[in-house]
Amino acid sequence: MNFDLTAEQKMIRKLLRDFAEGEVAPDADERDRDKRFPKEIMEKMAELDLMGLPFPEKYGGGGADTISFAIVVEELSRVCASTGITYSAHISLGCAPIFLFGTEEQKKSYLIPLCQGETLGAFGLTEPGAGSDAGGTKTKAIKNQKDWIINGSKCFITNASFANFVSLTALTGEDEITAFIVPTDTQGFTVVDNYFKMGLHSSNTTELVLEDVRVSEEAILGERGKGFKQFLVTLDGGRIGIGAMAVGIAQGAYELALKYAKERKQFGQSISRFQAIQHKLADMAMEIELARTMVYKAAWLKDQGRKFTKEASMCKLFASEVAMRVCSQAVQIHGGYGYMHDYKVERFFRDAKLTEIGEGTSEIQRNIIAREVGC
């Protein structure tokens, strides 16, 4: 299997490398300190027609493939993981379920503005008592004549403060979960942004509170009772995004560590001359390359219309654990300076942890892989 990039993919990589270096990187540390959302960056990405990159042009998308999407997430995350996860969640969790399961009318009403960058995409599955056990959903939607009345809450939801609508799940019967598209300005819908997080400080992570939120029958996304299965399919694609994000974080931390090792002098020579440091850097480079290849494989399978559940979990699991190892070693190579904010690797280290949790924990990924190989 050959993963030589196509001319279009190479063009996207160059565009995003230049964009990330010129527009995203300069203020990344300041945004992290101030917990400031990268709104202006998302607006500039919309101007570059990137906000609907892997979706058909008829819906305002770019008609590109999943590998191209992974490249964008990696390049953004290489300098600012908060920006990377904002984009990844917008595409893979916000846009994707509407594209995959929405009616033509829903795609025109919701997917087009998402692809054009008029709003950000958000996806509401996790609840305070339903994390890894997403089937433990407690949010309920009760039919009242022609409308549905939704009550419940969601937690750890990315982008919702900047979303005009959210796709979310609710119980519509005993053991029956249905997905709905709910405008965030609906009466009784509250988005709460008050989390104090370990990392990804400039991404938007919120709680959703729904109190007698009324939506019509047309708000159902896909088929009634199929919401849980639909969102599992959505998460497979989301794991490619998290894998790409992890590769980007690892690549950024590795590059900083390599640069520092060449510049830092100890005992009369740069520390890059010491075998202990060389071996750390060699392992980092090797694991990043392997993780990237696994992400591309999962993306390629998705683009071929082939089953990719196992590979999505593998790429997400492996890349996230690589990111943690690489960032830890990058801090170690920097020594005391690695613990300081000004040297950036501490931000990468904090941001990397989420990749082992989001879109299913490492433990859940191992469960999925075990199931897929026939255990």
Domain that holds residue 280: 228-373
In a domain, 1, yes or no: no
Q: Are 338 and 364 members of one domain?
A: yes
Specify the CATH number for the domain of residue 360.
Answer: 1.20.140.10
Question: For residue 220, what pLDDT is reported?
Answer: 97
Pairing of strands 147-158, 123-124: unpaired
Q: Do 233 and 335 touch, CB atoms closer than 8 A? A: no
Confidence check: pLDDT of 134 > 80: no
Residue 264 to residues 329, 337, 343, Cα–Cα distance (Å): 15, 11, 13
Question: For residue 3, what pLDDT is reported?
Answer: 67
* Number of domains observed in the structure of the chain: 3
Residue 362 to residues 130, 354, 374, Cα–Cα distance (Å): 16, 11, 19
Residues 6+ apart with CB under 8 A from 268: none
Question: For residue 255, what pLDDT is reported?
Answer: 98
Across all residues in the chain, what is the average pLDDT? 96
Give the span between the Cα atoms of 49 and 163, in whole angstroms: 18
Give, in degrees to the nearest 5, the angle at Cα 99 between 149 and 307. 115
* DSSP per position, 204-253: -EEEEEEEEEEEEGGGEESSTT-HHHHHHHHHHHHHHHHHHHHHHHHHHH
- In this prediction, residues 12-35 reach a mean pLDDT of 97
Q: Are 364 and 255 members of one domain?
A: yes
In a domain, 2, yes or no: no
Last residue of a domain, one of 225, 257, 287: 225
pLDDT digits (tens, 9 = 90+) for 306-340: 999 999 999 999 999 999 999 999 999 999 999 99
Q: Do 228 and 273 touch, CB atoms closer than 8 A? A: no
Confidence check: pLDDT of 184 > 70: yes
pLDDT band at 2 (very low <50, low <70, confident <90, very high): low
- In this prediction, residues 110-130 reach a mean pLDDT of 95
Specify the CATH number for the domain of residue 92.
Answer: 1.10.540.10
Residue 119, number of CB atoms within 10 A of its CB: 18
pLDDT digits (tens, 9 = 90+) for 330-374: 999 999 999 999 899 999 999 999 999 999 999 999 999 999 999
Last residue of a domain, one of 61, 90, 116: 116
- In this prediction, residues 205-218 reach a mean pLDDT of 97
Q: Are 24 and 152 members of one domain?
A: no
Residue 26, number of CB atoms within 10 A of its CB: 12
- In this prediction, residues 281-287 reach a mean pLDDT of 98
In a domain, 81, yes or no: yes
pLDDT digits (tens, 9 = 90+) for 157-182: 999 999 999 999 999 998 899 999 99
Decide: helix, strand or coil at residue 132.
Answer: coil
Q: Are 97 and 152 members of one domain?
A: no
Residues annotated as part of the active site: 359
Pairing of strands 165-173, 123-124: parallel
Chain centroid to CA 144: how far? 36
Q: Are 219 and 232 members of one domain?
A: no
- In this prediction, residues 19-41 reach a mean pLDDT of 97
Question: For residue 4, what pLDDT is reported?
Answer: 84
Question: For residue 49, what pLDDT is reported?
Answer: 96
Q: Are 60 and 135 members of one domain?
A: no
Residue 342, number of CB atoms within 10 A of its CB: 7
Q: Are 249 and 347 members of one domain?
A: yes
> How far apart, in Å, do the first and last CA atoms of the chain sit?
27
User: What percent of the chain is modeled with pLDDT above 70?
Assistant: 99
Give the span between the Cα atoms of 90 and 236, in whole angstroms: 15
In a domain, 284, yes or no: yes
